[in-house]
A and B are shown apart, each in its own frame.
Chain A
Amino acid sequence: MKKTNRILTILIFAFLYLPMMVLIVASFNTGKNLTVFESFTIENYKDLFQDKDLLGLLGNSLLISILSTAIATGFGTFAAVGIHNLKPRMRKTVMSLTNIPMTNPDIVTGISLSLLFVFIGTTMLHQKESLNFWTLLIAHITFNLPYVILNVMPKLKQMDPALQDAAMDLGCTPVESFFKVTLHEIMPGIISGAVMAFTMSLDDFVISYFVTGSGFLTLPIEIYSYTKKPMQPRVYAMFTLLFLLIFVLMVGMNLLQIRSDRKKATKREITKFGRIFRRVCAGFCAVAIFFGVGWLIFSTRQDKVTLNVMNWGQNIADGSDETMDIIAAFEEKYPHIDVNYTTYESNESLYAKLAGGGVTVDLIIPSDYMIARLIDEDMLNPLNFDNIPNYKYVQEQFKNTAYDPNNAYSVPYTWGTVGIIYNTKFVDEADVTGWELLWNEKYAGKILMFDNSRDAFGIAQFLEGISINTTDKKELQQAANKLAEQNPLVRQYVMDQIYGAMEDENAWIAPYYAGDCMMMMDANENLQFYLPKEQGFNLFIDAMCIPKCSENQKEAELLINFLCEPEISGANMDYICYASPIEGARDHMDEYLAESEVIYPEDSILEKGTSYLFLPPEVNRLMDNLFMEVRISGGDSGEAEEDPSSLPVILTFAGLGIAAAFLFLPKKKTKHK
């Protein structure tokens, strides 16, 4: 029994630590891949210390968690004293209020707070940016407070009330007696509450994810978006350093505790050591808060204009692989502008961010049909072309488009096609005949599919011979059925995650945008691109627009103008592998890319392409819901019911309600006994 316990414990520890060891080993790897160790290097650590963005995010995370912990600890300690002295029934009510954030799932806490902030900020106060640093701070304080309260309360309970009376008998005022006696008695509770709050706050992802806008991001949120793209090994380096830091801190705290326990055994007074430790702690907190607040004031009072740019993942040259760092070049040219660059995964997620109303964004690069929707819903600002003289370089065929007929709101950035990327090592060339490849049962479990409704429906519609711009319910249902048929074969529905899956050959077939396919083909030579010319394919334009919530329109226009310079556009395309709508940009591109059929297909092929057009909101919603059904019920969703019965839902709610009533009512009775 004892032996098996010991072995099991060792195995469990191995289980807990194995993934962390994988990450630590990966931080010394020259390759980007987690699974293949190429050779040993410390280059990743050097990269880490040069990556100002990543360090800035770490700073943001620390700032939020230190500030929220300090506030919650102070606030919570006093509140605990107050609650402790409340009448029992009232105390019970307050404690159940305290338990709400503890027992609710994080996602519910995050969503309810973000709805509140958006409701107050956008609906009531008409603020442009209702989700920001302050809302994040409030959220963190809110979920930190219970940790402090729940750790301090038991200590207050344990404390002998006579102690305080004694202090007052000896001439202390109530306030003095609190600081001289009570505080000392409850200190261990305060410290453990603060430590818990700090760690929870530092690693919180779910609540922060729903409560921040784009202006202030923390490390976990950025890591979440990193994990969809190929991860940069410097992130693993940061993980390793944090691991070491926390390890040392924990060992240190334990040593201190063991020591003070030993001393306590001999005498009960405050040890000299404890006193010093406490002062060091207090000093540390004070310094941290001082710097935190100072830094905050400093960073908000900067002379620089912060330009918030939101773009697709992997959609601007960032200086890696000997390309140009476009953003850095722009900031060098206009030193008064500081670009805050964030990414989105799909047109739909960009729309959700803008419509959610929590963010300020100055420049976005959505696709054609989304631009039409944004124009229709009055979410874009008209551009001032006086600031964009380089518009003259835009090729004629990209002007007067269906989505922006008057050229008032957008300047094209890239254009491209949607085709199939497949792995020649595993996929038989004979099967590569058209979109039906994605429905081929031979490759079940190796097929990836778009995780956005418009692109996914488009493919089914090409295959079924329906217009990709149909608004007919029956035709949409037909496409949905086709997608449901495919569901059992699909490995995952992905967007940016496609990179890892295809490059590492974990999946073999996927539809995706040509330029991104080209990037994957660069990384793995077994990958090949195929455009189903006969069935038709999507031809898209991504264009730069300025949303209504922008606060720096002029600077955004400067960036648009900068990106339209032929040399810059060409250099940019070298990285993102798309076709440029800018005259002369092709001449500045790498020859191998400029001549590529994948990037610049022949005109005769291009004629077969179709663009997505604007669809009315109810059609979009129907498409979203149908796609959700496809993903949930998979193959067995034959025909959707016209009017879904509400009976199961009513029964569920009634059941839950009765159960809740049953559970909570009799409990009170037993209390009275």
Chain B
Amino acid sequence: MKKNKSILLSAPYILWMLLFTLIPLGVMVFYAFTDPDTGAFTLGNLRDLGLFLPTLGTSVWYSLLSAIICLLLGYPVAYFIAHRGAVAQKILYMLIMLPMCMSFLLRTLAWVGLLETNGIINVVLGKLGLGTVEAIGTSGAVILGMVYNYLPYMILPLYAIIVKIDNRLIEAAEDLGCNGLQVFGRVILPLSVPGILSGITMVFVPAVSTFYISQKLGGAETMLIGDIIEKQFKTSNNPNLGAALSLLLMLMVLVCTGIMNRFGGEDEEGGVVV
């Protein structure tokens, strides 16, 4: 009886989420299928998307690459943190969290100051007599920006998983004759797969849709899908094409995260990390 009543508590929430997540997506689909000038139904916006497919490909490629780099860099760090004492763990965890709370716009801007032709890194390199690096405006700089911004999103879920791995399992593997590498490959790595998958998702999704990083660190050649969407809304004033592009981006992300979930098996409701 009590249960039935408390179910009612979820009703306003469901209503709210329908109103402000599902219906907006519906409006977006509506815009994607209407003509910017006449407001009539059209497939023209979808046809125009053909031009942007290579850009979408570039965005996916960059963000996958940065997700993999994040994984390679983040895994040892997460592993290291997970094997500290309780207090050290808390401190290190906090130090990983801290950058996430600071303005990502300003932190990315600092990279511009570091990487510019006459930037800090080049000044230091010049003083050491090592010549200069023309980094800004390249795809490398964009990927660096993505790795820098989203690395904590990789480390935190990895840490959350690794710290839960039962030490007795590792001991058992060792007792059964595994060497260090085998323990890692056969026990630790398979057990941390859920963390790896959620980390990759958490890096990939914001990276694939970013526009600020490519605007600041990229050059003339590194336009990403996020830039184009932003332009449709903020300068070209073609929200219909922008909506069509967003739809494409959303479907693609949905499929990518779907693939992740397939690999990762059933992750129940409480799978929140950060």
Contact = CB atoms under 8 A, between A and B. Distances in A.
Interface of A: 1, 4-6, 8-9, 12-13, 15-20, 22-23, 26, 33-35, 75-76, 78-79, 81-83, 85-86, 91-92, 94-95, 97-98, 100-101, 103-109, 111-116, 119, 138-139, 141-142, 145, 147, 149-151, 153-154, 157, 168, 174, 196, 199, 202-203, 205-206, 210, 219-220, 223-224, 227, 231, 235-236, 239, 242-243, 246-247, 250-251, 254, 257-258, 345-346, 348-349, 351-353, 355-356, 445, 449, 452, 487-488, 490-493, 504-506, 617-618, 621, 624-625, 628-629, 631-634, 644-646, 648-649, 652-653, 656-657, 659-660, 663-664, 667, 670-671
A37 to B, nearest CB: 10
B254 interface: yes
B235 A346 contact: yes
A95 B231 contact: no
Interface in B43-73: 43, 46-55, 73
Given A106-B209, A113-B24, A239 B272 contact: no
B223 to A, nearest CB: 6
Interface of B: 2-3, 5-14, 16-18, 20-25, 27-28, 31, 36-37, 43, 46-55, 73-74, 76-77, 79-81, 86-87, 90-91, 94-114, 116-120, 123, 134, 136-137, 148, 151-152, 180, 201, 205-206, 208-209, 211-212, 216, 218-221, 223, 226, 228-231, 233-239, 242-243, 246, 248-255, 257-259, 261-262, 266, 269-272, 274
Nearest to A196: B274
A352 B237 contact: yes
B47 A646 contact: yes
Contacts of A23: 106-107, 109-110
Contacts of A671: 266
B272 A151 contact: yes
Contacts of A223: 103, 105-106
A9 B220 contact: no
B260 to A, nearest CB: 10
20 contacts: A5-B77, A9-B76, A22-B113, A23-B106, A26-B113, A81-B10, A82-B8, A85-B6, A111-B28, A112-B246, A142-B20, A145-B17, A153-B270, A242-B103, A254-B94, A445-B134, A490-B220, A505-B118, A632-B55, A667-B261
Contact of A254 (B51, B90, B223, B233): B90
A92 B270 CA distance: 12
A174 B5 contact: yes
Contacts of B230: 107
A456 to B, nearest CB: 12
A250 B242 CA distance: 40
Given A5-B76, A8-B77, A19 B7 contact: no
Contacts of B229: 107, 111
A76 B49 CA distance: 38
Given A115-B28, A352-B237, 16 more contacts: A4-B76, A104-B205, A104-B253, A109-B21, A113-B20, A115-B239, A151-B272, A224-B105, A257-B90, A258-B86, A492-B220, A504-B116, A506-B118, A628-B228, A649-B53, A652-B248
Kindly name the residue among A103, A107, A239, A355 whose own CB sees the greatest number of chain B CB atoms within 10 A: A107
Given A116-B24, A352-B235, A506-B117, A86 B10 contact: yes
A260 to B, nearest CB: 12
A231 B3 CA distance: 56
B223 A504 contact: no
A105 B255 contact: no
B144 to A, nearest CB: 10
A445 B137 contact: yes
Given A203-B104, A254-B90, A348-B237, A108 B46 contact: no
Contacts of A1: 180
Contacts of A75: 12-13, 16
B262 A667 contact: yes
A105 B46 CA distance: 20
Kindly name the residue among B46, B74, B81, B208 whose own CB sees the greatest number of chain A CB atoms within 10 A: B46
Given A352-B233, A445-B137, A663-B259, A246 B17 contact: no
Contacts of A243: 102
B246 A35 contact: no
